[in-house]
Amino acid sequence: MKLFNKIVGTLAVATALTMPALAQTTIVAPGQSTTGTYMDYMKTVYDRATFAELLQVPIATFDKEFELTPMAAESWSQSEDGLTWTFKLRPGLVWSDGEPLTAEDYVFALQRAATGGYDFAWYWDFAGGIKGWKEVTEGTADVSTLGLKAVDDLTIEVTTVAPKPYLPSVTSLWYPVPKHVVDKLGDDWALNVDTVVSSGPFDLESWEKSNNSVVLTKSDTYTGPWQAQIDRLEVDPSLGAPEVGLPAFLAGDADYSFLNTGQVPVATQRYPDGIRKNAVFATSYISYDLDSAPFNDVNVRRAFYYAVNRAELTSTVLKDIAIPAGSILPPGYPGYNPDIAAEAVFDPEKAKQYMADAGFANGEGFPEIEIWYREEGGYNGAIIPAMAQYLQAQFKDVLGITMNIRVLPGADWMDGLRNKKNNIFIAPYEYDYLDPSNFYGIFYNGGRHGYHIPEYDALVAKADSESDWDTRYKLYAEAEQIMIDQGLIVPLVHPITIAVISDTLGGDASTPNKLGFTSLDRLGHYFFTHLTKQ
Amino acid sequence: MLSFILRRLVSVAATFIIVSLIIFFMMHSIPGGPFDANDMPVSEAVRAKLMANLGLDQPLYVQYFRYMWGVLHFDFGVPYQSPGETVTQLLSRAWVPSLVLGGLGVLIGAPLGILLGMAAALNRNSWIDYLASTLATLGLTIPVFVTSMLLILVFAVWLNWLPASGWGKPERWILPIAAYALIPLATYARYTRSAMLDTLNRPFVTVLRAKGLTERRIVFQHVLRNSAIPLVTVFLPMFIGTATGSIFVEAMFRVPGLGAYFVSSIETRDYPLEMALMLMITFMYCIAYLLSDIVYALINPRIRVGGGQ
């Protein structure tokens, strides 16, 4: 033991002596996933390495108030017919190896995504509506037919199948890929620290693949908006679990940590000024297989809609981690309509009446059902299991029915949903781009749940391509009214995440927005470039 | 002895093949594949392309033979989770922290446990005996993530002597190694105590005492050696159990080791890595038990398994 101590002591002294005296500001932050494959957002989104997106500059992105801000693009414009968008890039942007960043790098990024098995390819069809996207991804058309063109070094032209008034907000996930490097190394460019080049506010210093942790440094070649105000950013996804993150935060090893429900009271008491809440733009809802009994009866679905006491659910079992959801859109999200949300009330009498109308007075004759939810980490992991049990008791109490609960791994749950292997699910959804079409698209023409409601589809299609915002807003409200009347879903809750941040952190990103929420790394580009440390 | 070892080696090979078959087919019988867990599924065309790239479009038996043929040549494939390297490279990278932690944990915990167990056996019903029993019981019953949490709370948060978690600097090793060491310490303390008590009551000890040997010689030369057999039985398997990484300790202390890969390879349907990990563990356990048997025979000639000459 003595010998061991000596060895450890010697090593510690040696390490201390060889460490240069650093007067740099370093922020240690939790990451999201402990596994990651490519340091390239345009190769894989779901399996990307930690904060791959912070290395690159998107066309545009959102600030803390969710205002769209031009980044690589200086400006954009829409053609008369609404089908073509022209993005003008900022001159002078370069890759970290000194090569100029051009329109070609953005076009190449999407061309490769369309042909290379990009796991986020659906986004550019579903959200972007880029002309020819579907055909190219399915291999029935050549990549040259895509509605994408680099007109010159600084001009990108995007053509969509229908007018997409919100296309600029879709470009917040459009990052460039260094064509000159990929031409040489192929996709492997994004596997080694030495070959990764960046175009955004941060460079990659190191990457520990065993837990997907990275060290990013402030870029000295990035000339665009939102330059980093810190020198180094250490991101360790192992800190993402509040059980690991909070002890590290308390010991001074991390600058902020997410909190689980048990930790909230303690942290609030110790750091009353350090608590930050974030409304995740996400919704948990109940969905059905509309084609099979008993949920093929609209009365049954309406009964479920009125049988949930959301206020009680969020003030008791889900205290501090969720707020009631009356609409598929979360509050603060573009297009959120308080009148629609107000319709989702708890009305046991109405619920009972609908059950009786369906022929199941007091739940008599109603088959035993099983609600399926998927195993989740993060905020969903804290919310859904508890909520499922609450709903089980609530439905027994209000509707007189027996609902069992089954938890499935992600792949099995998706399989069940897609292939209608069960008739009732708890489904969580988090936004992908900031426009109402994102959430309404979930139920559009088959979508995630295999719903086909012609009136709904027609309204959503019309709203999606409408360029006047007020008209769109109205059309989406009408579409959601159909969802309510048909009982397509039961909106349940919107998650809230809570974090505690160190008082050494400053800058605009450390304070809440007008709605009282602080997005932290959910708005990575904004957050890490508007954060300072004393 | 040689024919015993040879026979055991044949059975190791058979175990290896049977385990590989079971793991392979079990792994593929879990619903879903590496590209199915995402919320928005990739299109059929994209999926087919991805599956073909990984050879997953082939019939299962073809995949099995291909994989095992590779294994014979020490080629365990490319992990889906880390496409830039081979499974072998990944293991040799991620295993180092686990080996340091687990190895030091056992090497520190086991001798301490033996000492504690001896002290307890020699001072039966004294305070040291009670202390040893209490420590051993706590060490075995409290889950390691709770002891990890307590260590962090006391030494990092309250006393602020050590970092709460992390890796790379030696001072960050201390807490996880301590958490690791508790398990062998507790196990060994218990085994040693009961084995020693058992041996101390044997007639030959009385004979030794009658011959006038010092107590110290009796204990260290005779009792300890005769008590070593049960300890050997637990030592190697325990070493392997800890040296292949603990999901909990590594997660609590943010150690970039092998532990997390056991979970993530199953979750992400990373077939090559999952197979490699399982085969590696199988192989190591087989070898560990083989070595244990050999060491038995060396310690106690009466246990030459199979009645060797």
Domain-located, residue B160: yes
CB B244 within 8 A of CB B103: no
Q: What CA dihedral angle connects A229, A232, A238 and A240, to 10 degrees?
A: 0
Indicate the angle between helix axes A378-399 and A298-306, nearest 10 degrees: 110
- H runs (alpha helix) in A103-187: 103-115, 121-126, 133-137, 167-170, 179-185
| The pLDDT of residue B308 | 44
Q: Which of B43, B159, B252, B269 is most worth mutating to test chain A (most A CB atoms within 10 A of its CB)?
A: B43
Give the DSSP H/E element, type plus range, for residue A139: none
8 A C-beta contact, residue A244 and residue B250: no
The pairs formed by A152-155 with CB atoms below 8 angstroms and a separation of 24 or more are A152/A103, A153/A89, A153/A100, A153/A102, A153/A103, A153/A104, A154/A88, A154/A89, A154/A90, A154/A91, A154/A102, A154/A103, A155/A86, A155/A87, A155/A88, A155/A89, A155/A103
Interface touch B36/A415, C-beta < 8 Å: yes
Which residues 6+ apart lie within 8 Å of B71 measured at CB?
B20, B275, B279
**Which residues are within 8 A (CB) of A454 and not within 5 positions of it... i.e. 6 or more apart?**
none
> Which residues of chain B make contact with A409, given a CB cutoff of 8 A?
32, 37, 267
Q: Using N-to-C axis directions, what is the helix angle for B87-122 and B224-243, rounded to 10°?
A: 150
Q: Chains A, B: CB contacts under 8 A, how many? A: 140
| Residue B43 maps to a domain | no
Instruction: Please classify residue A133 by burial: count the beta carbons closer than 10 Å to its beta carbon, then call 0-12 exposed, 13-18 middle and 19+ buried.
Output: buried
CB-nearest partner of A4 from B108, B163, B252:
B108
pLDDT score of B241 more than 90: no
Question: B82 and A38: CB-CB below 8 Å?
Answer: no
Would the CB atoms of A244 and B251 count as touching at under 8 Å? yes
Helix (H), strand (E), coil (C) string for B91-123: HHHHHHHHHHHHHHHHHHHHHHHHHHHHHHHHC
Instruction: Classify residue B276: in a domain, yes or no.
Output: yes
pLDDT tens-digit readout, B6-35: 888 888 888 889 999 999 988 888 777 777
pLDDT of residue B260: 81
Assess whether pLDDT exceeds 90 at residue A456: yes
CB-closest option in A35, A247, A412 to B81: A35
Statement: residue A22 has pLDDT above 60: no
- What is the band of A18 on the pLDDT scale with cuts at 50, 70, 90? very low
* A91–chain B Cβ distance below 8 A for any pair: no
Q: Is the pLDDT of residue B149 over 60?
A: yes
Q: Is A135 helix (H, G, I), strand (E, B) or coil?
A: helix
pLDDT at A20: 45
- Rounding to the nearest 10 degrees, give the CA dihedral for residues A244, A249, A254, A260: 50
Q: Is A182 a residue whose pLDDT tops 90?
A: yes
In a domain, residue B58? The reply is: no
Q: Please answer yes or no on whether A243 and B260 come within 8 Å at the CB atom.
A: no
Tell me how crowded residue A233 is: count the other CB atoms within 10 A of its CB. Answer: 24
Given a cut of 90, is residue B249 above it in pLDDT? no
Q: Give the pLDDT confidence score for residue A6 in this predicted structure.
A: 57
Point out the residue among B35, B93, B268 whose CB comes nearest to the CB of A210. Answer: B93
Q: Is the pLDDT of residue B105 over 50?
A: yes
Q: In the predicted model, what is the mean pLDDT of residues A128-132?
A: 92
CB contact under 8 A, B157 and A238: no
Q: Which of A122, A210, A215, A421 to mutate to test the interface with B (most CBs of B within 10 A)?
A: A210
> Which of A102-111, B178-187, B209-218 ranks highest by mean pLDDT?
A102-111
- Name the CA dihedral angle for A223, A229, A231, A236, rounded to a multiple of 10 degrees: -110
pTM (predicted TM-score): 0.82
Q: Assess whether pLDDT exceeds 70 at residue A386.
A: yes
For residue B103, what pLDDT is reported?
Answer: 86
A406-444 confidence digits (pLDDT tens): 998 877 888 898 889 999 999 999 988 889 999 999 999
Q: What is the mean pLDDT of residues A4-23?
A: 52
Residues 6+ apart with CB under 8 A from A13: none
Cβ within 8 Å of B, A 347-376: none
d(CA A492, CA A308): 8
Return the CATH number at B150: 1.10.3720.10
What is the distance in angstroms between the Cα of A253 and the nearest Cα belonging to chain B? 7
Token pair 């803390």 is found at A64
- Residue B231, pLDDT above cutoff 90: no
Question: Distance between CA atoms of A323 and A473, rounded to whole angstroms?
Answer: 23
| C-alpha span between B283 and A102 (Å, rounded) | 53
Q: In chain A, which among 291-320 make CB contacts under 8 A with chain B? A: none
- In the predicted structure, residue A2 carries a pLDDT above the cut 70: no
| pLDDT tens profile A204-240 | 999 998 889 999 999 999 999 999 999 999 999 989 8
Per-residue confidence band for A120, with pLDDT thresholds at 50, 70 and 90: confident
Q: Does B83 contact A46 at a Cβ distance shorter than 8 Å?
A: no
Say how far apart CA B191 and CA B227 lie, in whole Å: 9
Q: Give the rounded percent of residues in chain A with a pLDDT score beyond 70.
A: 96
Q: What is the DSSP letter of B39?
A: S
C-alpha span between A157 and A141 (Å, rounded): 19
Model confidence at B194: pLDDT above 60: yes
pLDDT confidence bin for A21, thresholds 50/70/90? very low
Q: Residue B79: inside a domain, yes or no? A: no
Tell me, what's the pLDDT at B213? 85
Average of per-residue pLDDT across B251-264: 85
More confident residue, B214 or A38: A38
Q: What is the mean pLDDT of chain B?
A: 84
Provide the chain A residues 137-166 that lie in CB contact (below 8 A) with chain B: 137-139
Measure the CA–CA gap between B258 and B100, rounded to whole angstroms.
Answer: 11
pLDDT at A11: 53
What distance in Å separates the CA atoms of residue A341 and residue A339, rounded to the nearest whole number? 5
Decide if A1 and B256 are in contact by the 8 Å CB cutoff. no
- pLDDT band of B221, cuts 50, 70, 90: confident
d(CA A204, CA A212): 13
**pLDDT surpassing 90 at residue A460:** yes
* Cα separation, A369 vs B184, whole angstroms: 48
Contact check, Cβ <8 Å, B254/A239: yes
Residue A337 has pLDDT above 70, yes or no: yes
pLDDT digits (tens, 9 = 90+) for A338-375: 999 999 999 999 999 999 999 999 999 999 999 999 98
For chain A, the average pLDDT equals 91
CB contact under 8 A, A252 and B39: no
Query: For residue A155, what is the enclosing H or E element?
Result: strand A155-159
Cross-chain Cβ contact A253/B166 below 8 Å = yes
A410 interaction partners in chain B (CB closer than 8 Å): 32, 37
Q: What are phi and psi of A429, to 5 degrees?
A: -140, 130
The tokens describing B80, both together, are 């889906």
Band (pLDDT 50/70/90 cuts) for residue B40 is low
At how many degrees (to 10) do helices B174-200 and B224-243 cross? 150
Domain that holds residue B265: 94-304
User: Residue A56 in contact with residue A47, Cβ under 8 Å?
Assistant: no
Residue A14: pLDDT above 90?
no
Distances (CA, A) of B222 to A52, A166, A201, B57, B151: 63, 84, 70, 63, 38
Number of domains in chain B: 1
Closest CA to B264 of A34, A45, A243: A34
Gap between the Cα atoms of A289 and B198, Å rounded:
66
B80 within some domain: no
Instruction: For strands A369-374 and A403-408, give the pairing.
Output: parallel
User: Which segments of A262-347 does DSSP mark as H helices, in order?
Assistant: 263-270, 298-306, 310-315, 338-341
- Confidence band of A50 (pLDDT split at 50, 70, 90): very high
Which residues lie below 8 Å from residue B115, measured CB to CB, with a gap of 6+? none
Task: Read off the pLDDT of each residue in A114-137 and give the average, rounded to a whole number.
Answer: 88
**CB-CB under 8 Å, A117 with B50:** yes
Q: What integer is the mean pLDDT of B291-305?
A: 72
Bridge partners (DSSP) of residue A424 are: A288
* More confidently predicted of B122 and A89: A89
- With CA atoms as reference, report the closest residue to A39 among A239, A211, A189: A189
What is the distance between the alpha carbons of residues A493 and A483, in angstroms, rounded to a whole number?
Answer: 17
B86: nearest Cα among B285, B307, B305, B273: B273
Contacts of B84 in chain A (CB under 8 A): 188, 191-192
According to the model, what pLDDT value does residue B28 have?
A: 86
Question: What is d(CA B65, CA B72) in angstroms, rounded to the nearest whole number?
Answer: 10
Instruction: Give the pLDDT of residue A33.
Output: 85
Mean pLDDT along residues A162-184: 94
Q: Are A272 and B185 in contact (CB under 8 A)?
A: no
Q: Has residue B30 been placed in a domain?
A: no
Token code pair at residue A491: 């909106």
Could you count the other beta carbons within 10 Å of the beta carbon of residue A318?
Answer: 25
What is the DSSP code string of A72-107? SEEEEEE-TTS-EEEEEEPTT-B-TTSPBP-HHHHH
* Dihedral angle sign, alpha carbons of residues A321, A310, A300, A401: positive
Per the domain annotation, does B59 fall within a domain?
no
Neighbours of A127 (CB within 10 A): 22
pLDDT of residue A100: 97
Per DSSP, the residues of A174-200 read -----HHHHHHHGGGGGGSTTT----S
Q: Which residue of B has its CA nearest to A447?
A: B40
